[in-house]
Structure formats: structure tokens, C-alpha cells
Amino acid sequence: MRAVLQRVRDASVTVEGKVSGAIGSGLLVYLGIGSKDDDAVALALLEKIANLRIFEDTEGKMNLSLLDTGGEMLVVSQFTLYADTRKGRRPSYDDAAPPAEARELYGRFVDIARDKGITVATGTFQATMDVTYTNEGPVTIILDTEKQS
């Protein structure tokens, strides 16, 4: 799995003119699901995201996690995180999970986050979405489970 995290003051996603999901302070998570990903990978990534200390404490140091702050999470599916641009000019998405498998694992990722007590909003899977947010910091972090140890 690959994720791009953005620490936000607020974020929302709109589909066909209607807000699909919105949050206040927390994380906007663009989530890409690979063809080799499974529940164990989803759980490990969610643990990393929920406990990553990227929110400021009272001294202004990034020392608090999403769980520490009670922040919210907006999860937006994004298969394009698996774009392979090494050949030619058209990206290949061969390493992305097929849509049916990705939808299922995306749903489980969201469920796991909610089970941890995180307030989660979502985009609409396989829809064209407009995402609006205020990046706080700015803080943007890229996670790739294939590169984590």
C-alpha cells in the first residue's frame, strides 16, 4: 500500500457537486492499494498512520499522533499512486490492485480506522472527485509499505 498523508486543518471531497466526506483537523490520506496487499498490510499501514507523531505539542514540536490529538481522517482512494512512469509517456498501473479487490481492502482499511476510534470520512471509490483542503504546516508524508521495516 502507498499513502500520501497531509496534515490538514480541514478537508472535504465532492462528487458530482455533493460533499461525499468532510473532516476538521486531522489527516487527509490518499490511499493506493497494490496487487500484493492484504489485511495484514492494511493493518500495519493504519497503525503507522494513526501513531505517526506529526502533530505539534504545546511547545510547537511534532510530538503527537492522530490518536493523541483526537484528529479525524479523510481517506481518498488513489490508484494513481501506483503509476509506473519508467517507460514512455503513459503511466502503467500494472502494480495497482484490480478495482474489486482494491475496493474491498479500502473498505477494510476504513473499518480498521473506525474500530480504533478514529472519525473517518471517505471519498467515493472509482469516482472523479474534487478534494479541497487546508494543509497545515505544510506537512506532507509519503508512506510505502514495501519500503517500511
CATH number of domain containing 134: 3.50.80.10
Across the range 75-92, mean pLDDT stands at 95
Mean pLDDT score across all residues of the chain? 96
Closest CA to 29 of 66, 70, 83: 66
CA distance 39 to 37: 7
Q: What is the pLDDT of residue 147?
A: 84
Residues 26-56 pLDDT 10s:
999 999 999 999 999 999 999 999 999 999 9
Q: What is the pLDDT of residue 149?
A: 53
CA distance 107 to 125: 9
What is the total count of domains within the chain?
Answer: 1
Confidence of residue 25 (pLDDT cuts 50, 70, 90): very high
Structural domain boundaries, residue 77: 2-147
Residues 95-122 pLDDT 10s:
999 999 999 999 999 999 999 999 999 9
pTM for the model: 0.94
State the catalytic residues: 78-80
